[in-house]
A and B are shown apart, each in its own frame.
Chain A
């Protein structure tokens, strides 16, 4: 007893000592990479073509089975969606058991059994596996399809399609598939309302009887099994599964565009643009540069620490997330870099994604980046290995891709041997920014103006991927809206008629700089139409225009010019303080997007005036005049930063663009009804 207590004390003391040594401020260094031990697979084939792979794993008393029918992809055409419908209807009753009795049995055993168009799966405790695999086999061989279930499933499919009619990511993804793989390719076609309506119960049965066959089937059983007994069980359950004649169809190989182009799908309800820069690749599991391609992708856009995410989200705040993906496939693989971004930054986001793609192509990644990517991959791999589904997948992949038996055992070693040069080579080979489609699904009216400024050709497609025209760039004018209602809303927005009418005089002092030189603008106005504007640099008046209600002048650096009769007439027509009141008599032109919002545009004499559709405030005014050479010159003035003075809102930021010059005035002071006399307008 005494020694026992002593030893306990010793252990406690030791653990204290150990605790004291741990420095929590530095990250613990990872241990050596584990050696992955995947169970050895035992394989045998049945006469009907079914290959059975068994992996023993006695860690837990459970077993899982996965059936995979590895037929070549085929084109469904007019009845696109038939195989997925067949998959959904599988297991809803067989010639031996009703759907409800089947489900009740599975539920009773605490198991799960599932069917899909290219296979099936079952999972249960070891003690019920015989029964559960039997249920799965019954569904595989003897599924029945009846009209009632078929009609139900058809309705559900149509309902889902309808729900996705306005779903931007869903539309983006189907048009992308169609354009990237082509209309006649199994990966390019998609299920539509029309194709679903073409599908009959007969077509579903036909699909089952043609393609759901053991010829190219693999059955993988992983878990607490006795291989000998399991082999016997599988034989008894699957040997009578009849072989069939499975047609093999040809389809064109997809090709990438020769120059990058924008493929635009207009969705008027889009709040953000779905961008996907995508190209097809020839990459198959087991290729020598497979690991390099995985790592290059990991560094570019494989997660939150990757370059795309860091740039587009963390640095620029364009998006919640930007990622890239490289997918291998025995037919045609694909690389894509994606982001869902705010409308206004759609063009900038494309530029940034392309920049990152080019960067990883033309510059080697740092060895630190590569090391981190490797660690992350290996970590994920090790965590995956413990799942039985992974063991099954690995065994299946080795069979499907004719990989060496030690493919996954060497996985970590092969990842670790990739160099920065390998990564760059893979990036150059597979990430084709300059020969990629830039898929953009978004709100044309908000994003096209900027997309047109990029160097890419833009092609337009409808939601089903058919070529179409460029969408209209204006919004419909709502019923009842007139120039007058727009002005009334503006007056209400800045403080209401009563307060606005109470403003008799104003003085506005604003500052700006031009090429480093500070300017001061002083504007005075008095009702009904007196005004003066003076721009001075360091106390010296540079420019001044004055109108006293009947006559006025403009002076520039001491040169004084009296107003012409025409100019006087114009000046008389304008209110000195709120010239917008007169615009109510103008013409309501259109509604168009402006800086991510919608603006109502009025035309009054030689100006177009923009009012924010939501707030009602004036945001811009563009004056058209004839320049010295007779050409039309547009001078835009931007109003922003509205603040209240004496109960009325005035813009405190006024930007004037005059030729190549930008003058951004910041209003320093506004005085209402004080400090202005008639003398100011002489």
Chain B
């Protein structure tokens, strides 16, 4: 697991993986706004969390503007060694 984290922090993800992410996010975005309930849910969270209901029209542009470099940067910024809690589940002692 650590190796994978280090990888994402040092190397850029491949163009292909990046395109795949874009596709999957766009797909989710479209499908989450397919029903009246879905639209209401999106509007509510855009309003409460970001104060901008117009994000329902523009949020996808934010995703599209993300670059591979930015993905590497956030991996470096947030996935730090000193911000982890490792929880180990051990079997009960007999």
Contacts and interface: CB of A to CB of B under 8 A. Distances in A.
A125 B26 contact: yes
Contacts of B16: 108
A128 B19 CA distance: 13
Contacts of B26: 110, 125
B27 interface: yes
B90 interface: no
B23 interface: yes
A365 to B, nearest CB: 31
A193 to B, nearest CB: 33
Interface string A380-407: 0001001110000000000000000000
Contacts of A107: 20, 24
Nearest to B25: A110
Interface stretch (B4-12, B32-40, B44-52, B78-86): B32-40
Nearest to A109: B23
B30 A125 contact: yes
A55 to B, nearest CB: 15
Contacts of B20: 107-108, 110
A111 interface: yes
Contacts of A387: 34-35
A388 B26 CA distance: 18
A60 interface: yes
B31 interface: yes
Contacts of B30: 60-62, 125
Given A107-B20, A110-B20, A125 B36 contact: no
Interface in B65-92: none
B27 A386 contact: no
Size category of the binding interface on chain A: 10 to 19
B23 A386 contact: no
Interface string A98-117: 00000000011111000000
Contacts of B36: 383, 386
A109 B28 CA distance: 12
Contacts of B34: 60, 62, 386-388
Interface in A193-236: none
Contacts of B35: 383, 386-387
A124 interface: yes
A110 B24 contact: yes
Interface string A53-71: 0000000111000000000
Nearest to B17: A108
Nearest to B38: A386
A60 B33 contact: yes
A123 to B, nearest CB: 9
Contacts of A386: 34-36
Interface of B: 16, 19-20, 23-28, 30-31, 33-36
The 8 tightest CB contacts between A and B, nearest first, are A110-B27, A110-B23, A110-B24, A108-B20, A386-B35, A62-B30, A60-B30, A109-B23
